[in-house]
A and B are shown apart, each in its own frame.
Chain A
Amino acid sequence: MEPILFWIFSLGMIVAGVSVILNRNPVAAALSLAVTIVFLALMFGFCLGAWFLMVIQVAVYAGAVMVLFLFIIMLLDVKEEETRTRSWSYAVMGSALALFMMCMVVLVLRATEPVKAAADAGVPVDDAQQIGTLLFTKYLLPFEITSVLLLVAAIGVVLLSLTHKRESSS
């Protein structure tokens, strides 16, 4: 585990994350979110050794979810916020709340003993095999329920997008 990699990934993640919420252009915000997610995936893989989750993160988030977001932005033709419509009270409140909670987290982290990496940290682990074994033995029922959830979501999306058509035809 290289410390320099951790700093690069976390810095890139935070910069891209701030750019998500400060960008006026929705497409630029979506691309910044994609950068955040890719950096997070790299951190999963190279710093934490979770290679399987790195692949899943890139495939599902940077692939599917971001394409969905960009597709919806294109479909709705969302414009940039031309005028400065955000009110200062919301900006102050949001930043203050975030800073307050950040301070709480820092206080808690400073009070706790730093946990060192496990003894075998850095040793390549066969995490895909371990996750697969667990998924199909110990967590078989949640895994199957997830498939039902995805089916329900797919049917729900189809119904939601059909409603308008039915109303306009009748």
Chain B
Amino acid sequence: MMEITLNHYLAVSAVLFMIGLAGVILRRDILIIYMSLEMMLNAANLSLVAFSRFNNFVDAQILVFFVITVAAAEVAVGLALIVALYRLKRTSRVQDITTLKL
């Protein structure tokens, strides 16, 4: 079994980020899009923690701590927005929300 280097972690982080990106583009349900966004944030966290470990630099973990905090606040506000939108439009699918469309 080969040794795990920083590049392995970065590759896994990139794969996770790309899965999230693909989900944002090809899913139509706003909740699933939101979950994919969370996955992209998590992928960024993974690369930050990997950099922190391999460089012996604990400050990066503080940044991850802040990212998690901000993500939690963002999820709360975003889901409240989705609920408000659902009350207005009775739908959670992005193709039905066309108010800004010409």
A interface residues with partner B (beta carbon < 8 Å)? 1, 3-4, 6, 10, 13-14, 17-18, 20-21, 26, 29-30, 33, 36-37, 40, 43-44, 47-50, 52-53, 56-57, 60-61, 64-65, 68-69, 72-73, 75-76, 78, 81, 85-86, 90-91, 93-95, 97-99, 101-102, 105-106, 109, 112, 114-118, 120-121, 127, 130-131, 134-135, 138-139, 142, 146, 149-150, 152-154, 156-157, 160-161, 163-164
Tell me whether A33 and B39 are in contact (CB under 8 A). Answer: yes
Which residue of B has the minimal Cβ distance to A131? B61
Is B25's CB within 8 Å of the partner chain A?
yes
Report yes or no: B77 in contact with A117, Cβ–Cβ below 8 A. no
- For window 6-45 of B, CB contacts with A under 8 Å fall at 6-12, 14-16, 18-29, 31-32, 34-36, 38-39, 42, 45
CB distance B19 to A14 under 8 Å? Answer: yes
Q: Provided the pairs A101-B21, A114-B6 are in contact, do residues A21 and B58 lie with their beta carbons within 8 angstroms?
A: no
B29 touches A26 (CB 8 A): yes
What is the CA–CA distance of A121 and B56 in the complex, to the nearest angstrom?
A: 9
CA distance A95 to B19 in the complex (A): 9
Taking a contact as CB atoms under 8 Å apart, the answer to whether A86 and B49 are in contact is no
15 pairs from A and B in contact (CB 8 Å cutoff): A1-B4, A13-B12, A14-B16, A20-B36, A21-B19, A36-B39, A49-B53, A76-B31, A76-B86, A98-B25, A101-B18, A139-B62, A146-B70, A153-B73, A164-B84
Considering only CB atoms and an 8 Å cut-off, how many residues of chain B contact the other chain? 72
Query: For chain B, what secondary structure do more than half of its interface residues adopt (helix, strand, loop), or is it mixed?
Result: helix
Of A44, A56, A106, the residue contacting B11 (CB under 8 A) is A106
CB closest residue in chain B, given A147: B69
